[in-house]
Amino acid sequence: MEKQSTVENFLQQYDAGNQQLELPEFLKKYHILSCIYEKTEKSCYLAADKKTDEKYLLKINRNKNGCGILKAEHQKLCQLSKAFPKEYRSSTYQEENGTEYLLKNYIPGIDLEDYQERNRPLSIQEVLRLAIQICEIVEKLHTLTPPILHRDIKPKNLIIDYKGMPHLIDFETARNYCESKSRDTVLLGTKGNAAPEQYGYSQTDVRTDIFGIGKVLEFLCVENDICKIKNAKTRKQIKNIAARATAFDPAHRYQSVPMLKCALKKVLRRVDEGYLLKKIHIIGTVEAVTAVLLLFAVLWEAGIFYQKPSPAELETGKTPDISKSSETKIPSQIAEDSPEESDKAVQEIPEKESEPLQASDGQPMFHTGDMKDVVKTITGKNKISQKDYEQITRIAVIGNQIYEAETELEDMVDCMGFEANLVNGGITDISLLSKMPNLKEVFLCDQKITDISPLKSLPIEKLYLSGNQISDFSVIETLEQLNVLFIVDNPVSILPDFSKLKQFLRLNL
């Protein structure tokens, strides 16, 4: 009882202190709910509108020497609210008698440290997705004119809302980047998270925020024992990304947030194609099974699988002998090749063929960037007839390596643009593919393709074009048999109307 009485007395004094807080006239319509932190010269409170009960954060700065820091934060928040009104709300600022007041939007949730503690261990997928989402937030800051540098990205400044989405807060140390400056006038940041240049070595720039994101990634990796994940390649990739992002010399870091985000996305795609793609695949499978069952029911009703009784037999009660079901008539064999084609094939005298270069994994390599050389390797011929083209059902070239028909590629890291050391194959012209009317699978990743119009109306079922320079994918609409499309790492500007693809199941952008 004595302990309970002590707690109650403390809470009463605490509430009384909040109520006695002197607020300027422009804040009279708000009342203080709680104190978030209290320091000698700075404090922060959770406030609410007396009429609407809408919550806000109220920051107060009494530091005469540091007067203007909340004004600078207010200016950054106004810049953000104009650029991204759906994500950032404008703030209210006023200075009275040397004290600064900043009223800004309140984001309900918990900081990343608490979120990590409550939800440990986070999966590798969640760690990567959080890092990617943080990149997307910071990327928006850097796209402004002039760019905003946050300069204090750390777990405590990342609020995770109730939907699991991160929000970057506390723009006190943020500044607008000025290219003409050689170093920062004021050194700000959090010890342990601040980049080396924040200690005065040079001016901070976008790479300073990349350092901060890297430190957050390191925090998540340590807290969730990423070093213990089974896949050694994934473990090494994440470690290398964090190390590069936090390099001492800014020149050795990722040079932009999109570059860092791309590296993280590549690892995430390796770990998990994502819930949405799986859901699409499941729905597609269910729809396909349903269609088969409906077709079976229709065919059964039509008597395809047995001799359906005639009306007379139904009247007499006699049923046919189902053991004498109608035989399936096999159409006559398709005619042999025309004499012209046969003569042409006979007259072809194969030239002496050189042995193709072999990669370390035994796959043929090529260096010309010419699709003709790919076809020659696949067919084993130097002179290719139309009949040869018609027999090709798969083209698989990843970088400068040509893969044989029996090689499984769908789960290979290379075909999705993940291999950092892959040599670009240099293929630019794929017009030869239009001569392949039976082409079912195309793997042309890490090339220099810009035009895919030769694919028009081909019976392609699986199409992997990661790591190219393709912007217009509208021709995909004509691929009626397509069910898988991978177009990672392309400057996509025009996508097809996927509703026209009735067989489509999976997409990876």
Average the pLDDT over 485-498 and give the result: 86
pLDDT exceeds cutoff 50 at 323: no
Taking the C-alpha atoms of residue 438 and residue 417, their distance in angstroms, rounded to an integer, is 26
Picking from 164-173, 349-358, 476-485, which range would have the lowest pLDDT averaged per residue? 349-358
* Strands 364-365 and 394-398, sheet pairing: unpaired
> What is the SS3 assignment for 114?
helix
pLDDT exceeds cutoff 70 at 304: no
Average the pLDDT over 210-215 and give the result: 95
N-to-C CA span, the chain: 62
b or e along 293-331 (b: 16 or more beta carbons within 10 Å of the residue's beta carbon)?
A: eeeeeeeeeeeeeeeeeeeeeeeeeeeeeeeeeeeeeee
Split at pLDDT 50, 70, 90, the class of 312 is low
Question: What is the DSSP code string of 146-172?
Answer: SPEE-----GGGEEE-TTS-EEE---T
Share of the chain above pLDDT 70, in %: 70
Half-sphere exposure of 348 (CA within 13 A, CB side): 17
pLDDT exceeds cutoff 90 at 180: no
Q: Are 388 and 381 in contact (CB under 8 A)?
A: yes
What CATH fold (topology level) applies to the domain 21-105? Phosphorylase Kinase; domain 1 (3.30.200)
- Helices 206-223, 257-271: crossing angle, 10 deg rounding: 30
Q: What are phi and psi of 183, to 5 degrees?
A: -155, 165
Structure tokens at 64: 């005469």
Q: Are 476 and 463 in contact (CB under 8 A)?
A: yes
Please indicate whether residue 149 or residue 401 has the higher confidence score (pLDDT). Answer: 149
Domains 21-105 and 109-178+188-275 equal at CATH topology level: no
pLDDT exceeds cutoff 80 at 417: no
pLDDT of residue 196: 80
Q: Are 36 and 46 in contact (CB under 8 A)?
A: yes
User: Was domain 371-408+420-507 assigned CATH 3.80.10.10?
Assistant: yes
Give, as one character, the DSSP assignment of residue 494. Answer: B
For the 109-178+188-275 domain, the top CATH level (class) is: mainly alpha
Average the pLDDT over 183-202 and give the result: 60
Beta strands in 263-416 (DSSP E): 357-358, 364-365, 394-398, 401-402
> What is the SS3 assignment for 275?
helix
Split at pLDDT 50, 70, 90, the class of 301 is low
Average the pLDDT over 202-219 and give the result: 91
Taking the C-alpha atoms of residue 467 and residue 420, their distance in angstroms, rounded to an integer, is 11
Question: Nearest to residue 375, comparing CAs of 416, 412, 429?
Answer: 429
Domain ranges, ordered by start, for the chain: 21-105, 109-178+188-275, 371-408+420-507
